[in-house]
Amino acid sequence: MAEELGREDLVSEYLDQNPGLAQWVDTFRVYCESGKQWTARREFILRNMEAFPTVKPGLAHSSSLDRLLSLSMVWANHVFLGCSYPQAVMDKIKEMGEGIVVPDAPVHRTTRDEAMAKGKRSATTEADADGCVKRAKCGSNELKKSGPRPQAPAEHQPFFNRLYKAVAWKLVSAGGFGPNLDHFEILRSCVESCKQTLTCVFVPLKDIAGLPAARTQKEGHVCEIRCQAVYLGTGYGRDEAAAKAMASKEALKVFQGRKVTVKIGRRRFKGKDVEDLMLLDEQPRTQGFPPALSYPFQDEQLEGGC
87 and 182 share a domain?
no
pLDDT, tens digit, 9 for 90 and up, residues 290-305: 889 988 886 543 333 3
Residue 275: strand pairing partners: 266
Domain around 212: 152-302
The answer to whether residue 138 sits within a structural domain is no
Domain of 215, CATH number, reads 3.30.160.20
Residues 6+ apart with CB under 8 A from 242: 220, 221, 235
77 and 171 share a domain?
no
CA angle 201, 204, 209 (to 5 degrees): 95
The answer to whether residue 251 sits within a structural domain is yes
Domain-terminating residue out of 32, 67, 96: 96
The answer to whether residue 194 sits within a structural domain is yes
The answer to whether residue 237 sits within a structural domain is yes
For the question of whether the overall pTM of this predicted structure is more than 0.85, the answer is: no
163 and 286 share a domain?
yes
Which residue would you say has higher pLDDT here, 166 or 58?
Answer: 166
The answer to whether residue 145 sits within a structural domain is no
Residue 30 pLDDT: 75
d(CA 223, CA 246): 8
d(CA 70, CA 63): 10
d(CA 14, CA 127): 44
Residue 1 pLDDT: 44
Range of lowest pLDDT (103-107, 140-144, 200-204, 266-270): 140-144
Most confident of 31-40, 172-181, 223-232: 223-232
What's the total number of domains in the chain? 2
Residue 237: strand pairing partners: 221
Averaged confidence pLDDT in the chain: 76
Q: Report yes or no: 46 and 55 within 8 Å, Cβ to Cβ.
A: no
Residue 138 pLDDT: 32
Share of the chain above pLDDT 70, in %: 74
Q: Report yes or no: 104 and 154 within 8 Å, Cβ to Cβ.
A: no
The answer to whether residue 131 sits within a structural domain is no
The answer to whether residue 64 sits within a structural domain is yes
The answer to whether residue 243 sits within a structural domain is yes
68 and 192 share a domain?
no
Domain-terminating residue out of 57, 75, 96: 96
d(CA 59, CA 192): 12
Exposed/middle/buried for residue 289 (C-beta within 10 Å: 0-12, 13-18, 19+): middle
pLDDT confidence band for 146 (50 / 70 / 90)? low
Domain-terminating residue out of 54, 72, 96: 96
Most confident of 10-19, 69-78, 94-103, 220-229: 220-229
pLDDT, tens digit, 9 for 90 and up, residues 169-196: 988 888 888 888 899 999 999 999 988 8
Phi, psi of 227, deg, nearest 5 = -145, 130
157 and 88 share a domain?
no
188 and 49 share a domain?
no
195 and 285 share a domain?
yes
Residue 87 pLDDT: 81
176 and 255 share a domain?
yes
